[in-house]
Amino acid sequence: MKDFTKEYFTMTEEDAIDYTKAHLDLFDKDAKLQCKEIGDGNLNYVFKVVDSKTNQSVIIKQAGPVARISDEFKLSPDRNRIESEILQLQYKLAPGFVPEIYKYDPIMNCCVMEDLSDHEMMRAALIAHKKFPLFAEHISTFLVNTLLLTSDVVLEHKEKKALVKSFINPELCEISEDLVYSEPFYDCPRNDVFPGTREFVQNTIWNDDALLLETAKLKFEFMTNAQSLIHGDLHTGSIFIKEDSTKVFDPEFAFYGPAGYDIGNVIANLIFAYANANFTIEDELKRKDYLDYLGNTIKDVIDLFNEKFIRTWDKHVTESVAKYTGFKEYYLGNVIRDTAAVAGHELIRRIVGLAHVKDITSISNAEARVRAEKICLTIGKTFILNRENMKTGADFIDVIQSAEEQ
Ligand code: SR1
Ligand code: MG
């Protein structure tokens, strides 16, 4: 057995079994452990270790020194500490909505956590056109609790600043600064634009100076607004789901940033699912039914967030000036404005930039894919340019419907 206590190395499946035997007393002494590497994300290695006698299982997630998607991205394995610590904090702030962390290991840069194999990855489930009627209720609670309860409105300010320091995450932030805020807005060699969509991108994104100016403002908002401890990459591939349960995982991009970043990512990725359904469900009645479900979910996420934010603010606010008449509405208005802008960035960057989403790339008919991409780009651009007017769920739905009609 290798020594896991001296210096870091990237584990194999066999190592992950040995590691489990050596470090955890979660399993019986006579457990028959088996392991499979199941990671399909862009960055890390994910080992599922199962006792074949009892079916009991855990997940070991290990951060490597470079990203899996490309060794161009050299990343500090400290992201595994950030991920473990934020999950432990969110476990308290939003009980039931994140996996339990059993152990964090700063030498092997790995954490051992609850296995959620009885759930499915939300992106895959939405592409299979499954419905989750409790999702909006669940995710709005998660978002309000994790975003508002980590802000200066609620936390004692020195305690909040200590958290800001502990969650400084420069390398992962740089990825978002580049891939979300810079590269999609010019003809960057790292972009990956579907050929039929390229001319549209050139004309409506790269050549629109008014849009570019807004993206510059928003990049600085992302880099400088240390408002809340955010997940930082809350797309539907970072959510495990089943009928009665929603679990948010993979928060390695976490840092103190604009609260709207997380909400905007959820909204944009529901819109990708909407675009997928619109161009892949052939039966008209089924398509309409599924689009209604997704449209209502998008609307409910915003409206429930607004409602719960007000209730949670009234219960937990500690900062005295935040109690002045009108400040709560001003603050919430800014969060929803930022939500629209971030949703816009996510919609554009997943079409133009390096990292795509399966909802769109799995549309096999090229013409349908181009149409879906143009609609997403149009929605994204409108969200950014019109963000000051976005307040309710209905405002988000209006933008989606107008883009479809164009
Ligand atoms: C180099 S990582 C590419 C993308 O994958 C992650 O999930 C983030 O969304 C990042 O932008
Ligand atoms: Mg991820």
**Ligand 1 binding pocket includes 73 (Cβ within 6 Å):** yes
CA 174 to ligand 2 center in whole angstroms: 15
3-state DSSP assignment of residue 1: coil
Predicted confidence at residue 73, as pLDDT, reads: 80
Greatest CA separation for the chain? 66
**Ligand 1 binding pocket includes 182 (Cβ within 6 Å):** no
CA 238 to ligand 2 center in whole angstroms: 6
Residue located nearest, by CA, to atom 9 of ligand 1? 233
**Ligand 1 binding pocket includes 172 (Cβ within 6 Å):** no
CA 326 to ligand 1 center in whole angstroms: 38
CA 154 to ligand 1 center in whole angstroms: 30
Predicted confidence at residue 15, as pLDDT, reads: 97
Q: CA–CA separation, 247 vs 257, rounded Å?
A: 21
Low-confidence stretches of the chain (pLDDT < 50) are: none
CA 354 to ligand 1 center in whole angstroms: 9
Amino acid at 87: L
The three-state (H, E, C) secondary structure of 326-350, written as one string: CHHHHHHHHHHHHHHHHHHHHHHHH
Predicted confidence at residue 62, as pLDDT, reads: 95
Closest atom, ligand 1, to C-alpha of 41: 7
CA 60 to ligand 2 center in whole angstroms: 15
- The 10s digit of each residue's pLDDT in 128-151 is 999 999 999 999 999 999 999 999
**Ligand 1 binding pocket includes 233 (Cβ within 6 Å):** yes
174 alpha carbon, closest ligand: 1
**Ligand 1 binding pocket includes 42 (Cβ within 6 Å):** yes
350 alpha carbon, closest ligand: 1
> To 5 degrees, how large is the angle CA 81–CA 49–CA 72?
45
Sequence-separated (6 or more) residues with CB below 8 Å from residue 326: none
CA 148 to ligand 2 center in whole angstroms: 23
Question: What are the start-end ranges of the H helices in 9-156?
Answer: 13-23, 79-93, 122-127, 135-148
Residue located nearest, by CA, to atom 6 of ligand 1? 42
CA 403 to ligand 1 center in whole angstroms: 27
Q: CA–CA separation, 66 vs 72, rounded Å?
A: 8
Residue located nearest, by CA, to atom 5 of ligand 1? 42
Q: CA–CA separation, 299 vs 281, rounded Å?
A: 22
Domains and CATH numbers, the chain: 13-114 (3.30.200.20), 120-405 (3.90.1200.10)
**Ligand 1 binding pocket includes 268 (Cβ within 6 Å):** no
Q: Quick one: which of 170, 157, 137, 139 has its CA closest to 227?
A: 157
Predicted confidence at residue 92, as pLDDT, reads: 98
79 alpha carbon, closest ligand: 2
Predicted confidence at residue 26, as pLDDT, reads: 86
**Ligand 1 binding pocket includes 179 (Cβ within 6 Å):** yes
Predicted confidence at residue 340, as pLDDT, reads: 99
- Ligand 1 mutation pick, 68, 123, 169, 175, max ligand atoms within 8 A of CB: 175
Q: Is 55 left (phi over 0), alpha (psi -120 to 50) or beta?
A: left
**Ligand 1 binding pocket includes 385 (Cβ within 6 Å):** no
172 alpha carbon, closest ligand: 1
pTM over 0.90: yes
Predicted confidence at residue 43, as pLDDT, reads: 81
CA 24 to ligand 2 center in whole angstroms: 25
